[in-house]
């Protein structure tokens, strides 16, 4: 399966793993609503309404409104972790892996900016034990990226005096895409990914000639 087909499949139904159908419609509706107004400003009546059901129907599939957020956060962060893992586990130099990591990670945050906004900015609304569980996924993502940067620093490809600080900055940069990105903006998710990969490679002082050609059309 080619990269394009793979991406199309991922995109087609982001919540394909959620069954039955009504439960899936509810997650979709909740993501939309949470991203637009925030978790606390969203009512269960609003979510149910968007999914085309009565308010009570929500509670057949989810115990509480918080559980909905928890499911969304879990699925989303697992996806983010898999994206980072694919880039980190690939073969190639630290430069190549970092470029791929930033490009795909930033692109995902743009493409799925509603989901990403929810899972990155509404975390504090989770209950304590759900929060720590999700925070664990985040830490694993963080460690994967840090390892790439550490590898590049060790091999001399990168000039990174402060590896944890640089990791933090790169992650912060990618995650924040979810905050400002809109589908009607001037940039496509692909362009954001490419731009960010270029910027980050320069940020870590990677050798320059490998830069891609930028926006192409």
Partner DNA sequence: CGCGCCGCTGAGCAAGCGCTTAGGGTCCGG
Partner DNA sequence: CCGGACCCTAAGCGCTTGCTCAGCGGCGCG
| Residues binding a copy of itself (CB under 8 A) | 37-38, 40-41, 121, 124-125, 159, 161-162, 164-166, 168-169, 172-173, 175-177, 179-180, 186-187, 195-196, 199-200, 202-205, 214-215
50 vs 140 by CB, closer to DNA: 50
17 vs 185 by CB, closer to DNA: 17
Token pair recorded at residue 14? 């982001």
Q: Please tell me the distance from the alpha carbon of residue 125 to that of residue 123, in angstroms, as a whole number.
A: 5
What phi and psi, each to the nearest 5 degrees, are found at residue 148? -60, -45
CB 104 within 8 A of CB 96: no
89 binds, among a copy of itself, DNA, none (CB under 5 to 8 A by kind): none
118 binds, among a copy of itself, DNA, none (CB under 5 to 8 A by kind): none
CB 94 within 8 A of CB 152: yes
CB 165 within 8 A of CB 146: no
Q: Which window, 52-60, 82-90, 103-111, 157-165, contacts DNA (CB under 7 A)? A: 52-60
- How many residues form the binding site for DNA (CB under 7 A)? 21
6 vs 45 by CB, closer to a copy of itself: 45
Alpha helices by DSSP H, listed for the chain, are: 3-12, 21-37, 44-50, 58-61, 65-89, 94-111, 113-121, 128-155, 163-175, 177-180, 189-203
**Short-list 1, 210, 217, CA closest to 100:** 210
56 vs 213 by CB, closer to a copy of itself: 213
User: Is 113 one of the binding residues for DNA (CB under 7 A)?
Assistant: no
214 binds, among DNA, a copy of itself, none (CB under 5 to 8 A by kind): a copy of itself
Q: Which window, 48-56, 104-112, 141-149, 199-207, contacts DNA (CB under 7 A)? A: 48-56
């Amino acid at each position: 399966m080619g990269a394009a087909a793979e991406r199309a499949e991922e995109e087609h139904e982001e919540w394909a793993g959620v069954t039955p159908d009504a439960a899936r419609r509810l997650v979709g509706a909740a993501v939309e609503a949470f991203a637009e107004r925030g978790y606390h400003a969203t009512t269960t009546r609003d979510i149910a309404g968007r999914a085309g059901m009565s308010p009570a129907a929500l509670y057949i599939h989810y115990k509480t409104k918080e559980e909905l957020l928890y499911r969304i956060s879990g699925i989303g962060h697992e996806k983010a972790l898999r994206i980072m893992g694919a880039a980190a586990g690939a073969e190639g130099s630290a430069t190549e892996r970092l470029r791929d990591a930033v490009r795909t990670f930033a692109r995902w945050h743009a493409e799925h900016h509603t989901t990403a906004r929810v899972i990155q900015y509404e975390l504090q609304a989770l209950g304590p034990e759900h929060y720590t569980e999700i925070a664990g996924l985040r830490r694993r993502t963080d460690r994967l990226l840090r390892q790439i940067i550490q590898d590049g620093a060790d091999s001399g490809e990168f000039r990174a005096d402060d590896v944890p600080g640089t990791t933090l900055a790169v992650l912060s940069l990618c995650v924040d895409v979810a905050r400002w990105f809109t589908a009607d903006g001037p940039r496509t998710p692909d362009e954001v990914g490419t731009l960010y990969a270029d910027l980050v490679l320069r940020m870590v002082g990677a050798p320059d000639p490998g830069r891609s050609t930028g926006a192409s059309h």
